[in-house]
Structure 1
Amino acid sequence: MSDISVIPAVKRERAGKGAARAIRREGLVPCVIYGDNKDPSMVSVDPRVIWKGLESGHFFSTVYTVDVEGGSKEKALVRDVQFHPVSDQVLHVDFVRAGKNTTLNVSVPVVFLNEDSCEGVKAGGIISYVRHEVEVICAATDVPSEFTLDLATAQVGDTIRISDIDMPEGVASAITDRDPVVVNIAAPKGAASADDAEEEGEAEEATSEE
């Protein structure tokens, strides 16, 4: 399950665009924490903390303890991050409280293991990544930090789907009407055309014999 990390925060008193701009001029990021049938909490966070989380690759699947200076500590997940369209500055972050009864749709990263030693790759196949994240439904307190797929024994032509991922109890794919592909081991380029050429040659031989 996800690691619980701490995000230091400062309570902010005023809402609105003007107040948010003032927070950004101070070098901080305005944030809001909502959900769990409680009133929203307005806080501000150091952008370096936000970027550290974003660069980890697990920012949206980690349960954080938002530690408000002189106030409360709330467990929450990042729900949305807004960026400046030109500078990529973080403008705003939405957190949703991770209450005991809170159920979320969340995207969990997939980590692929043993890609270099994959048997299909050794046979000339090519790993084709279709999804690097899988959207799941689970309790907010039970969000997996990541899923792992071991490709060591995958063969040319193998297709690995979401249903092949070993998910913890209480965690299920948010896509229920189909079983999407996560990764497959494609045949090496030229292999299909070579097979086609061989089949065509056999067909020509059969025709000439007739």
Structure 2
Amino acid sequence: MSQETYVLKAEARERVGKGSARELRRNGMIPAVIYGDKQAPLAVALSTNEVTKRIHAGGFMTTIATIEVDGKSIKVLPKDYQLDPVRDFTVHVDFLRVSGNTQVTVAVPVQFINEDKCPGIKIGGVLNVVRHEVEVHCPADTIPDHIVVDLTGWKIGEGVHISHVKLPAKVTPVITDRDFTIATIATPAGGVQDEEEASDDTEE
């Protein structure tokens, strides 16, 4: 489970709008909004460098942060951020207020393990990833770092579905009306070895 957190220092924004946002960006700040938890939205400004560093570190959208503003500490989860389409820098961030009771919907990365124990891959099959992330519902304070897919025993032509994955407690997939595919073990264009040949290759 994702337990790591971090703190962002913020300034309250009295003025909003395009002109104010441009001025903030010229001064190395990013406009942001904190909303949710049945409270009025709060407009703040954050350090461009700090936010960019957190985004590039990975896990930005699945890690709870604490924003300190006007002497208050607000626990939040990033819900969206916008990048400049030309220069690729962050221009705005939306945060959701969270508490221990807050249920969130997040896209969690998929991690594949035990490829060396996958018969289909050992004879030349290819792991075809259908979903690099799975959208789930879960408590805000127990967001998984990743969803683990064990490839042990999977053969050519077989598919790993969400029903084959052991999700952490209190984590449920958003899609519930079908047993959706996460990955398949596909046959490569050049065909595959037979299992005896693959075994010989492994022993060399």
The TM-score normalised by the length of structure 2 is 0.84
User: 1:181 and 1:65 mapped to 2: Cα distance?
Assistant: 35
Aligned-partner SS, 1:55: helix
Superposed displacement of residue 129, structure 1: 0.7
Aligned-partner SS, 2:156: coil
Is 2:2–2:144's contact at 8 Å kept on the other side of the alignment?
yes
Task: Identify the residue that residue 66 of structure 2 maps to in structure 1.
Answer: 65
User: 1:73 and 1:145 mapped to 2: Cα distance?
Assistant: 24
Task: Identify the residue that residue 200 of structure 1 maps to in structure 2.
Answer: none
- Matching of residues 19-98 of structure 1 within 5 Å: 19-68=20-69, 70-98=70-98
Report whether the alignment pairs 1:12 with 2:19. Answer: no
Task: Identify the residue that residue 198 of structure 1 maps to in structure 2.
Answer: none
Q: Letter of the aligned partner of 1:180 in structure 2?
A: F
Superposed displacement of residue 136, structure 1: 0.6
User: 1:157 and 1:83 mapped to 2: Cα distance?
Assistant: 39
Superposed displacement of residue 190, structure 1: 4.3
Q: Deviations over 1:51-79 (max 9, x none)?
A: 333233311111112233x5211111110
User: 1:44 and 1:11 mapped to 2: Cα distance?
Assistant: 5
Superposed displacement of residue 117, structure 1: 5.4
Is 1:134–1:162's contact at 8 Å kept on the other side of the alignment?
no
CA separation of 1:141 and 1:180: change in aligned 2, threshold 3 A: same
Superposed displacement of residue 116, structure 1: 5.1
Aligned-partner SS, 2:5: strand
Is 2:10–2:44's contact at 8 Å kept on the other side of the alignment?
yes
Task: Identify the residue that residue 161 of structure 1 maps to in structure 2.
Answer: 161
Aligned-partner SS, 2:115: coil
User: 1:98 and 1:85 mapped to 2: Cα distance?
Assistant: 30
User: 2:67 and 2:109 mapped to 1: Cα distance?
Assistant: 22
Aligned-partner SS, 1:4: coil
Largest Rg, 1 or 2? 1
Q: Letter of the aligned partner of 1:186 in structure 2?
A: A
Is 1:128–1:183's contact at 8 Å kept on the other side of the alignment?
yes
CA separation of 1:103 and 1:133: change in aligned 2, threshold 3 A: same
Q: Deviations over 1:134-185 (max 9, x none)?
A: 0011222222121112224332222111222211222110001112111111
Q: Write out the 4+ residue segments of structure 1 that deviate beyond 4 Å after TM superposition.
A: none
Is 2:3–2:141's contact at 8 Å kept on the other side of the alignment?
no
Superposed displacement of residue 47, structure 1: 2.4
Is 2:137–2:172's contact at 8 Å kept on the other side of the alignment?
yes
Task: Identify the residue that residue 104 of structure 1 maps to in structure 2.
Answer: 104
The TM-score normalised by the length of structure 1 is 0.82
Task: Identify the residue that residue 199 of structure 1 maps to in structure 2.
Answer: none
User: 1:49 and 1:179 mapped to 2: Cα distance?
Assistant: 40
CA separation of 1:42 and 1:4: change in aligned 2, threshold 3 A: farther
CA separation of 1:45 and 1:115: change in aligned 2, threshold 3 A: farther
RMSD, aligned α-carbons: 2.0
Task: Identify the residue that residue 174 of structure 1 maps to in structure 2.
Answer: 174
Is 1:7–1:49's contact at 8 Å kept on the other side of the alignment?
no
Gap regions ≥5 residues in structure 1? 193-210
User: 1:48 and 1:115 mapped to 2: Cα distance?
Assistant: 38
